[in-house]
Structure 1
Amino acid sequence: MASEAEESPPLRQATTTGTAFTRTETLAGTCMVALGISAVLPISAEAPGRTMIVGAVAGLLIITACFLRSPAVIRAAVFIGPLFGCFATGILSGWPPAVTTVLVCVLPLGCLLLAGRSTALRPATPWLARGSLTPEAPWLGLATVLFSAAALTAWALAVRPEPGEYLQELRRLPLGLAILGIVAFALVNPVWEEMLFRGVLLTELAAVWGTRPAVVLQAVLFGAAHYAGFPSGIIGMFMAGTWGLVLGIMRVRSGGILITYLVHVTANAVIGILAVLILH
């Protein structure tokens, strides 16, 4: 993270006034949302054809981004392209999830930082700044964690869902080791999620469509990404989307992603531990 002296500048606003966008801004924002959709669609080793189709579409979107010559869309493409590639290669090749996750956390950011050496693509990662602690951040973060935990507990007790593969593996371990596994997951997984949603998508969408649409759209995409998560389905999407909206507001207010990362880690750890305890 950057030091306090290197805090993220205020989110750039769209160049147009009101709600009217130029044709380039409309195309740029649409292309960026489409890239975000390609990044959150589920990848399954049982459906490699579907993944190849999504990959081909993502490739066309990246080419479109280059033709649009919008720095915001190009930066998003430089990050999302390797992100999708890492997930697709890791899942379809049967790599250990830990290896895929590490690559997803490192390679897309590395590509974006390299691209940021070009004057035309600066600033590439202003959102990497840790930002500042705003007055509402502690209570808003605590409320988010408590609400998420309460909602998750109620949902799990009512639905009694079949746990995902990772949770099933943890259920075979002693409780102490299972909790350590949850904490490890909670520390690592939010890295790429915060970089994608509160970092790239929020920042670059704000550059072309303004901050408010960017906060809402990244939350919608964040919710969609959790359709097959825990909790799952429409309820899971709504819960994750609401959570993403709060994190987006905190990101804008704080000027960096450190606060949102810490809240994300805490919520993931609490939710994961509750899931293990309820379903163990």
Structure 2
Amino acid sequence: MTSELEDSAPPQPATRRGTPSSVRTTLAGAFIVALGICAVLPIRPEVPVRTAIVGLVAVALIVGACVLRSAAAIRAAVFIGPLFGLFAVGILGGWPPAVTTVLVCALPLACLLFAGRRPALRPVVPWLARGSLTPGAPWLGVATVVLSAAALTAWALVVRPEPPEYMSELQRLPLWLAILGIVAFALVNPVWEEMLFRGVLLTELASVWGVRAAVVLQAVLFGAAHFAGFPSGPVGMMMAAAWGFVMGVMRVRSGGILITYLVHVTANAVIGTLAVLILR
């Protein structure tokens, strides 16, 4: 699994004078992980002070990445900074969720592509590729969707959780319209999630800490991001992390995020439909 992504990892700039390469590498990876943590922390309108503190931490990390002059950390900062900012402004400002989601799917990527005008930061999006369909990819994708749907169904039947607000709204609609809403959400939401976790975080961490560490860390961050999701809590976080690990493996083997995006869309659509049916 190691060679595919390491061969395509962006070259790093020469070591800054006076700073050992191993120290810069360690710091760069730490900055990327810390930025990832900022990106996955929940933003709640009732506690804007916490969001402001996280925002200040993110700004400090971005400045630190620039001072360190690590191309990997700067690329991560260029993407995660606007992503966090848009979510913070959208949620705290009461923007319609659809507007916020569309913006976070487009603006962070646009910032990253603009940053690619600087030769020292190229290539900025080597992960934005169709990739290749490996022989086992279809079976692994189908297994991922089936097992995740079965696990969520079992969790929902045992825990009988209160459905999230958006799901409660869908349940008030006719079933066909609710499923249409689920499919629309499933098509859009995985765009920014795949770009963040299997794109930026996996690629940039792999360039400084290696592929194996990158696959594990992006999965852990993916799980943490779903702590308050559906499924929720520690069990939901572990389920999402396991799912993110498999997606990371698929991303490395294929060389692009198209396959993981398609699997993500399919799984979200199936899981969302099952959730609406089970929790009615």
TM beyond 0.5: yes
Give me the identity figure in percent: 76
Give the whole-Å Cα distance in 1 for the aligned partners of 2:10 and 2:218. Answer: 16
DSSP 3-state at the match of 1:231: coil
* 1:249-260 paired onto structure 2 within 5 Å: 249-260=249-260
Aligned to 1:211: 211
Alignment check: 8 A CA contact 1:11 1:206 kept: no
User: Which runs of 5 or more structure 2 residues have no equivalent in the other structure?
Assistant: 13-20
User: What per-residue deviation string (whole Å, max 9, x for no partner) do you get for residues 40-91 of structure 1?
Assistant: 0000111111100000000000000000100000000000000000000000
1:154 partnered with 2:154: yes
1:73 partnered with 2:70: no
Give the whole-Å Cα distance in 2 for the aligned partners of 1:86 and 1:210. Answer: 30
Aligned to 1:36: 36
* 1:54-65 paired onto structure 2 within 5 Å: 54-65=54-65
Give the whole-Å Cα distance in 2 for the aligned partners of 1:163 and 1:263. Answer: 24
Aligned to 1:197: 197
Counterpart residue identity of residue 140, structure 2:
L
Distance 1:14 1:124, change over 3 A: closer
**Alignment RMSD, CA only?**
1.6
| 1:132 positional shift | 0.5
Alignment check: 8 A CA contact 2:10 2:122 kept: no
Give the whole-Å Cα distance in 2 for the aligned partners of 1:11 and 1:90. Answer: 35
User: Which runs of 5 or more structure 1 residues have no equivalent in the other structure?
Assistant: 1-7, 16-20
DSSP 3-state at the match of 2:229: coil
Give the whole-Å Cα distance in 2 for the aligned partners of 1:186 and 1:9. Answer: 31
Q: TM-score, normalised by structure 1?
A: 0.94
Alignment check: 8 A CA contact 2:43 2:88 kept: yes
Give the whole-Å Cα distance in 1 for the aligned partners of 2:141 and 2:228. Answer: 24
1:138 partnered with 2:138: yes
Counterpart residue identity of residue 264, structure 2:
H
| 1:10 positional shift | 3.6
DSSP 3-state at the match of 1:151: helix
| 1:9 positional shift | 8.4
Counterpart residue identity of residue 100, structure 2:
T
Counterpart residue identity of residue 144, structure 2:
T
Distance 1:9 1:132, change over 3 A: farther
| 1:168 positional shift | 1.1
Distance 1:14 1:33, change over 3 A: farther
- Name the count of aligned residue pairs: 269
Alignment check: 8 A CA contact 2:194 2:257 kept: yes
Counterpart residue identity of residue 111, structure 1:
C
Counterpart residue identity of residue 220, structure 2:
V
User: In structure 1, which of residues 2, 8, 12 is the aligned counterpart of residue 9 of structure 2?
Assistant: 12
DSSP 3-state at the match of 1:22: helix
Moved over 3 A (4+): 8-11
Q: TM-score, normalised by structure 2?
A: 0.94
Aligned to 2:172: 172
Alignment check: 8 A CA contact 2:170 2:181 kept: yes
